[in-house]
């Protein structure tokens, strides 16, 4: 969306130049949480660490925060190694998944906490607290205790508390996962709005691809303690680098296939039931190699027999299939089809297909991405 | 600048937090304090143990000679067999009675809300908040008036007072933790009240009951003041007999008193260690919600 | 969480039936005797009968030796409570995150608690006697030139109470300390708080209810000291505690009325202390009792 060096008008300049994470490793008793984790974060960027639970994204965040000491590697802020700097002196703001609001302090005192630590005149602190609460639309709640606030309100207090100290870097650990769906969407917009207004460099951890896609300037896909792919949301979404990434980003059709013939821009593969497809290879393949073909439900074309469009050049033949079930998901239907031999596909269709109807299915080669099979779980 | 860092020492079981120099380092002083306390306790108990086996001990580090005669002496002199019997009877009776009284109440408190619930809860817990001597004296006075003074029944009754709140306190969270949907499911499957109780609730509650029962047993055996106020010569528990023996220390040889003390210690410790297999010691004092 | 819409095959009647035995037991064995004791104390016995309903209390407070029992007991209960709190607090704080051997440590502390005051006192007679091991060690380490008189005086009772009271105080504090959300400390660190700021602004305020509970528990237990005051103290003199005074009234003078009055005085003093602690605590901290979960 926004390249690093172009800022929206009115957005303040970022307070850091660059955060360099190099070769970070962390080993716990039986698991390797981080393994050669590398990342560069540019000032003003909103970066999401996306991955399933246990992939190491939270550990990486905690290392940046200073709450966890890595076993190896380095973290440098504008050239300065942070290894010797304890978390209380790094000047980073952090929002926790459970909000971690001090239960014995009012919302205002919670927000004021960091400012009181830094010292300063009472009037100044009061003013800044009021500003921060207004920024997150919580003006009337200053004297409430966390227990008297709803989940969404607590979250906003947590945000205000982290922002009021004008941190150099904002760290967020799955802040929205404890909220219900509607609130989550609202807060997502809030966070985006705040980022536009403040231009704060942000490192955001989540397992929700929608959040990552909507909020980030760049997404970092994390797998088993290491970085799988980095890119802008559009790049990552349309050009996932591996079956793992594709799986995480909504390519819900993952077919185990054998490569029959592979070229520069096209590859022919054989799937379950003997069905053949033509797709776009994402790496070099040898004939006979096992691979994974991925396509998004919205890219799967379903038509009634006879209404099918003519095949494009280089495209394989259409598939005949039977509709297994249709699910209404509000703005479309999710239609599951079975194409003989056990091959199942999930399609996103504008209309409802009755169960059992015969249909014709096409997988456009541009959208059928073929990756090496490396256990994409 | 810096590229690699030597791996930080990773202590098994310790929190994974950053361990900077000077902050929350090793807990050596904790171990030291605990060791000092343990040494003190061990010293106290061991000197009792040694003395109970001492033929004579004239002030050296260890007894001059050893014997087991003091145990036989104590057995006869303090009527230990009977006292042990009384102790066990009292302990078991108090445990059973307080479980019988307390379990249904704990169930209702766990499952229902009703006006005045807090008052009921407070009432049931109240005896635990007041020290035994304070209510023991009026209670003993009343029991004597009812001609229960000095009797086994009196001892059992008086000991129920601190035990009952304990049952309620421990078992109510236990019942709360049992999913009420289990009872509903049983009902949907056609079970009636009694069957629900025996087939569903009881098995789930049994571990808690055992734990609570063991704890009450241990506490009742150790509780001195109440039994002291009401018991007669034939209804003393071990701890009261021990007190009387120690009180009259000039008359009886200290070795025999210590022999009785050892018997008491062993009984208590056996029960305690059994109880500790099932319960976290912290929960003996305060219910911690995790 | 109590279910309001719990299975409906029982009516309110059955609830009452299930609650009744326990409530009745407490009523009959605790509340009524307490009330009985109160009334009894207001019906002075024997020579005091002419003095009106408060004669017992007047006699108790009027008699210097009886009055002194309050002070004797306070002299023991207050310092023991404070010292045990002071020792237990840093230990509980450090142990809020488990360390290796945590369970062994807590088990170790529970042992003296369950063995009880009588056994500890009785054992102390041996261990702390002039010829006992403690003195032997002290002499060997040249900590003292002559054996210390540690039993059959104030010191004996003091030590005995210190030992028997510590485990409960520690465990209560530990329970509260480990119930504090660890993320709160992390959040405080991220906001720039060093260890002192974290201690004073986060941990101690959140521990305040625990400290109050431990203080109340400790005082109430130590103020009602009895067997150790007799066995390792000087029951006729400096450790004539108020519980002993009550007991003597009941079992030596057979004046149950006076004894009840003294018991009521005991209860009143304990109540005043607990109330005081609660007031202090509410000054220090307003908010939920178990600090932590948002």
For residue A318, give the 3-state DSSP assignment: coil
C252 in any annotated domain: yes
C272 touches chain A (CB under 8 A): no
For the cut 90, the answer to whether the pLDDT of residue A170 exceeds it is: yes
Whether residues B290 and C179 touch (CB distance < 8 A) is answered with: yes
Give the nearest chain B residue to C223 (CA atoms): B131
pLDDT, average across residues B28-39: 89
CA B121, CA C19: separation in Å to the nearest integer? 10
Contact flag C288-A154 (C-beta cutoff 8 Å): no
Averaged confidence pLDDT in chain C: 86
Instruction: Note the pLDDT of residue B4.
Output: 38
Instruction: Choose the weakest-confidence range: A109-113, A304-308, A361-365, C183-187.
Output: A304-308
Distances (CA, A) of B101 to B122, B151, C17: 16, 22, 11
Which structural domain range is residue C158 located in?
64-286
pLDDT at B249: 62
User: Who has greater pLDDT, B64 or A237?
Assistant: A237
Cβ separation of B17 and A68 shorter than 8 Å? yes
B137/C256 Cβ within 8 A: yes
Element (H, E) at A300: none
Contact assignment for B246 to C231 by CB distance below 8 Å: yes
Flag whether C59 is in a domain: no
Q: Quick one: closest CA in A to C189, which residue?
A: A88
CA proximity to A253, closest of A337, A310, A309, A325: A337
Closest CA to A48 of A61, A37, A31: A61
Q: pLDDT-based confidence at C254, cuts 50/70/90?
A: confident
Is residue C218 pLDDT above 90, yes or no?
Answer: yes
Question: Which is nearest to A79 in space by CA: A38, A35, A40?
Answer: A40
- The verdict on residue C13 lying in a domain is no
Which CATH number belongs to the domain containing residue C73 in this structure?
A: 1.10.3720.10
User: Which of A362, A374, A249, A373 minimizes the C-alpha distance to A304?
Assistant: A362
- Per-residue pLDDT averaged across A139-144, rounded? 91
Predicted confidence (pLDDT) at residue A198 exceeds the cutoff of 80 = yes
Q: Does C7 touch chain B (CB under 8 A)?
A: yes
Count B/C contacts: CB-CB distance under 8 Å.
296
Strand pairing partners for A326?
A335
The mean pLDDT value for C58-84 works out to: 92
Determine the pLDDT at residue A211. Answer: 92
Contacts of A96 in chain C (CB under 8 A): 183, 186-187
Provide, as residue numbers in chain A, all residues whose Cβ is less than 8 Å from the Cβ of C191: 88, 113-114, 117, 161, 165
Stretch A45-64: mean pLDDT: 93
pLDDT digits (tens, 9 = 90+) for A232-291: 999 999 889 898 899 888 899 999 999 998 888 899 999 988 888 999 998 888 898 999
User: Averaged over C276-286, what is the pLDDT?
Assistant: 79
Kindly state the average pLDDT of the residues A292-303: 92
| Greatest pairwise CA separation for chain A in angstroms | 78
Quote the minimal CA–CA distance from A30 to chain B in Å.
11
Whether B131 contacts chain C with CB within 8 A: yes
> Is residue C7, in this structure, part of any structural domain at all?
no
Which chain C residues in 69-88 lie under 8 Å from chain B, judged by CB atoms? 87
Q: Does any CB of chain B come closer than 8 Å to the CB of residue C29?
A: yes
How many angstroms away from the CA of C100 is the closest CA of chain A?
Answer: 15
Q: Give the gap in angstroms from C-alpha C133 to the nearest C-alpha of chain B.
A: 7
CB-based contact, A165 to chain C, within 8 Å: yes
Residue among C186, C187, C207 with most chain A CBs within 10 A, to mutate: C187
Number of domains in chain C: 1
What pLDDT was estimated at residue C10? 54
Q: What subunits touch chain B, counting only 3 or more CB pairs under 8 A?
A: A, C
pLDDT score at C269: 92
pLDDT at C73: 94
Q: Is C201 on the interface with B (CB under 8 A)?
A: no
Q: Are C128 and C210 in contact (CB under 8 A)?
A: no
Q: What is the pLDDT of residue A259?
A: 92
Closest by Cα among A225, A221, A205, A222 to A34: A225
Contact C30 B161 (CB under 8 A): yes
CA A205, CA A220: separation in Å to the nearest integer? 10
Residue C119 lies in a domain: yes
10 Å Cβ neighbour count for B179? 11
Residue C292: per-residue pLDDT:
38
- A74–B2 CB contact, under 8 Å: yes
The gap between the terminal CA atoms of chain A, to the nearest Å, is 29
So what's the pLDDT on residue B14?
34
Residue-wise pLDDT for C121-179, tens only, equals 988 988 998 888 898 888 888 888 888 888 999 999 999 999 999 988 998 898 888 88
Condensed to tens digits (0 to 9), the pLDDT of residues B92-150 reads 999 999 999 998 888 888 888 888 888 888 888 888 878 888 888 888 888 888 888 88
**Contacting B residues, span 3-22, partner chain A, CB-CB under 8 Å:** 3-5, 7-8, 10, 12, 16-20
Nearest to C292 among A87, A92, A103 (CB): A103
pLDDT number for residue A131: 93
Taking CB atoms and an 8 Å cut-off, how many pairs form between chains A and B? 44
With cut-offs at 50, 70 and 90, classify the pLDDT of residue B18.
Answer: very low
**Looking at residue B282, what is its pLDDT?**
55
Chains that touch C (3 or more CB pairs under 8 A): A, B
Question: Is domain B73-285 given the CATH code 3.40.50.1820 in the classification?
Answer: no
Q: What is the DSSP-derived secondary structure letter of residue B189? A: T
Q: Are the beta carbons of A158 and A146 closer than 8 angstroms? A: no
Q: Which residue of A has its CA nearest to C182?
A: A100
Average pLDDT, integer, range A114-136: 93
Which positions in chain C touch B224 (Cβ < 8 Å)? 116-118, 226-227
pTM: 0.81
Q: What tokens appear for C140 in the block?
A: 């060997």
**Nearest CA of chain A to the CA of C287: how many Å?**
5
- Are A241 and A282 spatial neighbours (Cβ–Cβ below 8 Å)? yes
Q: Tens digit of pLDDT for each residue in B179-217?
A: 778 877 877 877 777 777 777 777 888 877 887 888 889
Q: How confident is the model at residue A6 (pLDDT cuts 50, 70, 90)?
A: low
Q: Which run of H or of E encompasses C274? A: helix C256-284
State the average pLDDT over residues B242-264: 85
Q: Are A219 and A212 in contact (CB under 8 A)?
A: yes
The closest alpha carbon to A60, from A72, A52, A68, belongs to A68
Question: Any idea what DSSP says for residue B6?
Answer: P
Kindly report the number of other CB atoms within 10 A of residue C3's CB atom: 16
Asked if A86 reaches chain C (Cβ–Cβ under 8 Å), the answer is yes
- Return d(Cα A133, Cα A188) in angstroms, integer: 17
> What pLDDT does A248 receive?
84
Q: What is the pLDDT of residues B154-168, one digit of tens each?
A: 999 999 999 999 888
- The mean per-residue pLDDT over the stretch A106-131 comes to 94
Chain A nearest-CA residue for C181: A100
ipTM of the complex: 0.82
> How far apart are the C-alpha atoms of A321 and A361, rounded to whole Å?
7
Residue B128 CB burial class (10 angstroms; 0-12, 13-18, ≥19): middle
Q: For residue C100, list chain B residues with Cβ-Cβ distance below 8 A.
A: 11-14
Q: Domain-by-domain residue ranges, chain B?
A: 25-67, 73-285
Kindly give the residue spans of alpha helices, DSSP state H, lying in chain B.
28-52, 69-77, 80-111, 117-129, 132-145, 152-177, 180-188, 193-195, 202-222, 225-230, 238-247, 254-278, 282-285
How far is C8 from C91, CA to CA, in rounded Å? 49
């Amino acid at each position: 969306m926004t390249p690093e060096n172009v800022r929206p008008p009115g957005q303040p300049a970022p307070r850091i130049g660059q955060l360099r994470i190099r070769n970070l490793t962390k080993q716990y008793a039986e698991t390797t949480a981080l393994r050669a984790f590398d990342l560069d974060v540019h000032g003003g960027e909103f970066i999401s660490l996306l991955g399933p639970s246990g992939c190491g994204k939270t550990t990486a965040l905690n290392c940046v925060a200073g709450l966890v000491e890595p076993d190896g590697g380095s973290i440098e802020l504008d050239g300065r190694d942070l290894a010797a700097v304890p978390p209380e002196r790094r000047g980073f703001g952090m929002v926790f998944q459970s909000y971690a609001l001090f239960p014995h302090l009012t919302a205002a005192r919670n927000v004021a906490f960091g400012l009181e630590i830094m010292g300063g005149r009472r009037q100044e602190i009061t003013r800044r607290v009021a500003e921060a609460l207004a920024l997150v639309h919580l003006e009337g709640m200053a004297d409430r205790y966390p227990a008297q606030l709803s989940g969404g309100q607590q979250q906003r207090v947590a945000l205000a508390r982290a922002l009021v100290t004008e941190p150099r870097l904002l760290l967020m650990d799955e802040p929205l996962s404890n909220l219900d769906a509607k609130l989550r969407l609202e807060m997502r917009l809030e966070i985006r709005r705040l980022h536009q207004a403040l231009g704060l460099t942000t490192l955001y951890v989540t397992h929700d691809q929608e959040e990552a896609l909507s909020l980030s300037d760049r997404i970092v896909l994390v797998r088993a303690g290491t970085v799988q792919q980095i890119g802008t949301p559009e790049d990552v979404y349309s050009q996932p680098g591996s079956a793992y990434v594709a799986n995480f980003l909504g390519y819900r059709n993952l077919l185990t296939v054998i490569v029959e013939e592979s070229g520069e821009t096209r590859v022919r593969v054989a799937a379950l039931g003997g069905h053949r497809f033509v797709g776009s290879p994402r790496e070099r393949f040898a004939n006979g190699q096992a691979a994974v073909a991925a396509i998004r439900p919205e890219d799967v074309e379903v038509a009634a027999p006879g209404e099918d469009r003519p095949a494009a050049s280089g495209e394989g033949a259409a598939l005949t299939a039977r509709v297994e079930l249709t699910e209404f998901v509000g703005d479309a239907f999710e239609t599951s089809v079975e194409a003989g031999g056990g091959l199942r596909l999930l399609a996103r269709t504008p209309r409802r297909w009755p169960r059992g109807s015969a249909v014709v299915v096409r997988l456009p080669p541009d959208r059928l991405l073929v990756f090496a099979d490396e256990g994409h779980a | 600048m810096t590229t690699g860092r030597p791996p930080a020492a990773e202590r098994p079981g310790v929190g994974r937090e950053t361990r900077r120099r000077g902050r929350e380092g090793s807990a050596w002083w904790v171990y030291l304090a605990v060791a000092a306390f343990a040494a003190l306790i061990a010293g106290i108990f061991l000197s009792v143990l040694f003395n109970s086996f001492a033929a004579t001990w004239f002030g050296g580090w260890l007894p001059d000679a050893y014997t087991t005669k003091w145990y036989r002496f104590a057995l006869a002199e303090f009527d230990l067999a009977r006292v042990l019997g009384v102790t066990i009877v009292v302990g078991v009776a108090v445990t059973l009675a307080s479980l019988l009284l307390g379990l249904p109440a704990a169930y209702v408190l766990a499952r229902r809300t009703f006006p005045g619930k807090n008052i009921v809860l407070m009432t049931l817990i109240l005896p635990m908040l007041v020290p035994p001597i304070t209510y023991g004296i009026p209670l003993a006075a009343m029991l004597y008036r009812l001609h229960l003074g000095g009797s086994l029944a009196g001892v059992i009754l008086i000991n129920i007072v601190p035990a009952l709140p304990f049952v309620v306190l421990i078992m109510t969270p236990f019942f709360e933790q049992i999913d009420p949907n289990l009872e509903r499911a049983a009902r949907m499957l056609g079970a009636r009240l009694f069957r629900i109780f025996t087939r569903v609730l009881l098995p789930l509650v049994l571990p808690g009951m055992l734990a609570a029962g063991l704890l009450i047993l241990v506490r009742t055996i150790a509780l001195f003041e109440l039994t002291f106020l009401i018991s007669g010569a034939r209804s003393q528990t071990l701890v009261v007999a021990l007190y009387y023996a120690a009180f009259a220390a000039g008359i009886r040889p200290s070795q025999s008193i210590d022999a009785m003390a050892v018997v008491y210690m062993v009984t208590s410790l056996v029960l305690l260690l059994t109880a500790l297999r099932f319960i976290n010691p912290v929960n003996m004092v305060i219910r911690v919600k995790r | 969480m109590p279910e309001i819409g719990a299975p409906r095959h029982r009516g309110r009647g059955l609830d009452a039936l299930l609650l009744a035995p326990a409530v009745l037991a407490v009523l009959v064995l605790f509340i009524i005797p307490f009330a009985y004791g109160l009334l009894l104390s207001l019906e002075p016995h024997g020579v005091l009968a002419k003095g009106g309903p408060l004669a017992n209390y007047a006699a108790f407070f009027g008699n210097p030796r009886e009055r002194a029992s309050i002070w004797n007991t306070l002299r023991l209960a207050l310092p023991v409570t404070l010292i045990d709190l002071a020792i237990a607090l840093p230990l509980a704080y450090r142990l809020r995150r488990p360390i290796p051997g945590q369970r062994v440590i807590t088990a170790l502390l529970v042992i003296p608690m369950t063995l009880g005051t009588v056994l500890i006192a009785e054992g102390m007679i041996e261990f702390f006697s002039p010829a006992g091991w403690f003195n032997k060690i002290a002499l060997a380490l040249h900590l003292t030139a002559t054996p210390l008189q540690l039993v059959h005086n104030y010191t004996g009772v003091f030590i005995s109470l210190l030992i028997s009271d510590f485990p409960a105080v520690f465990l209560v504090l530990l329970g509260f300390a480990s119930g504090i959300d660890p993320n709160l400390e992390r959040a405080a660190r991220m906001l720039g708080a060093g260890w002192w700021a974290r201690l004073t602004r986060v941990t101690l305020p959140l521990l305040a209810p625990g400290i109050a509970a431990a203080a109340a528990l400790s005082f109430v237990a130590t103020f009602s000291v009895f067997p150790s005051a007799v066995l390792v103290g000087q029951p006729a003199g400096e450790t004539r505690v108020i519980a002993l005074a009550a007991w003597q009234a009941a079992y030596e003078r057979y004046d149950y009325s006076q004894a009840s009055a003294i018991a009521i005085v005991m209860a009143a003093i304990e109540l005043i202390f607990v109330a005081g602690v609660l007031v202090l605590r509410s000054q220090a901290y307003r908010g939920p009792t178990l600090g932590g979960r948002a």
